[in-house]
Amino acid sequence: MGVDHEQGVTQRLTEPEDIYRVLKLLELHRALITVTLPGQKQMASSMVLDVNLENQTLTIDQLNDTSLQNALSPQSLLVFRAAYGGVQVSGECQLQRIQTDDKGAKLLMALPGKVLHRQRRAAFRANITGETPAISLSGRSRETLEGWITDVSAEGLGVVFDKFIHPPIEPGEVFERCEFVANGRQFTQALMAKHPSYDKFTDKYRCGFSFYRLNAAEAKQVNQWVIQLQRTQRQHLRLSTPRS
């Protein structure tokens, strides 16, 4: 992978396959991208429609600013910025041509030669695929709850329960002792409820929790877990990347 580390959390991606994977995530997340022309303050919005590794192209929707759209011509250089899941992405693309059909205009551009990939670790939330870790949560004023961890970040966990929780979990409620095993480690943490919700159609109760009184050593262990999940997800994406 052609990566130079900058400031610890910024990567300069130069390999086409790495650039493809990042831009494909923008497409899958339907992330809004901001587009400008070099030397201009005027900005427009768009979305990634397609990323083609074999043809080395990136296709985005027409710009929402008519004057900026009309200023484009073949070989125009466009600067783009976007974000998904706590990751910021930026780069430059050269316009090859504008395609027009009954749905509007599309901008077909050459795949950028480099992309800056900035990750805010505290904000990045990694989904857990495969076997999800079981977790037990104990509070002072309720019986122990049993659930499964669905995602994790350096700031907290997402947990799903197989039934309605009564009494309902209250935002700000603290669970003093929460136990789970993940990444080969036994964790015992205090968690604070942030976003409880119940889906009556699936009969699932979900809640996001933030870590409560996490010390430096525990924060390091959580970060190692998040990084390991990222590596696994990137490996799966790498294996699914089409080869030219």
Q: For residue 222, is it within any domain?
A: yes
Same-domain status, 97 and 195: no
Q: For residue 242, is it within any domain?
A: no
Same-domain status, 116 and 7: yes
Q: At what angle do helices 216-240 and 16-28 cross, to 10 degrees?
A: 100
Domain end, chosen from 120, 151, 183, is at: 120
Same-domain status, 112 and 138: no
Same-domain status, 57 and 105: yes
Q: For residue 243, is it within any domain?
A: no
Q: For residue 239, is it within any domain?
A: no
Same-domain status, 195 and 214: yes
Domain end, chosen from 88, 120, 152, is at: 120
Same-domain status, 93 and 168: no
Domain end, chosen from 105, 120, 135, is at: 120
pLDDT score recorded for residue 240? 54
Same-domain status, 130 and 38: no
Q: State the CATH number of the domain containing residue 28.
A: 2.30.110.10
Same-domain status, 103 and 141: no
Same-domain status, 24 and 37: yes
Q: For residue 11, is it within any domain?
A: yes
- Under DSSP, the state recorded for 43 is E
Same-domain status, 105 and 134: no
For the ranges 38-52, 66-80, 122-136, 227-241, which has the lowest average pLDDT? 227-241
Q: For residue 186, is it within any domain?
A: yes
* pLDDT class of 145 with cuts at 50, 70, 90: very high
pLDDT score recorded for residue 218? 86
* pLDDT at 3 exceeding the cut of 70: no
Average pLDDT of the segment spanning 143-154: 92
Same-domain status, 164 and 84: no
The pTM of this model reads 0.51
Q: State the CATH number of the domain containing residue 178.
A: 2.40.10.220
Q: For residue 86, is it within any domain?
A: yes
Rounded to the nearest integer, the mean pLDDT of the chain is: 85
Q: For residue 100, is it within any domain?
A: yes
What gap in Å lies between CA 112 and CA 120, rounded to an integer? 23
**Domain of 220?**
125-234
pLDDT score recorded for residue 5? 34
- Under DSSP, the state recorded for 2 is -
Let me know the angle formed at the C-alpha of 58 by 46 and 109, rounded to the nearest 5 degrees.
Answer: 90
Same-domain status, 97 and 129: no
Inter-residue long-range contacts of 3-11, CB under 8 Å, 24+ positions, other chains counted = 9/118, 9/119, 9/120, 9/121, 10/116, 10/117, 10/118, 10/119, 11/116, 11/117, 11/118, 11/119
**Domain count for the chain:** 2
pLDDT score recorded for residue 235? 66
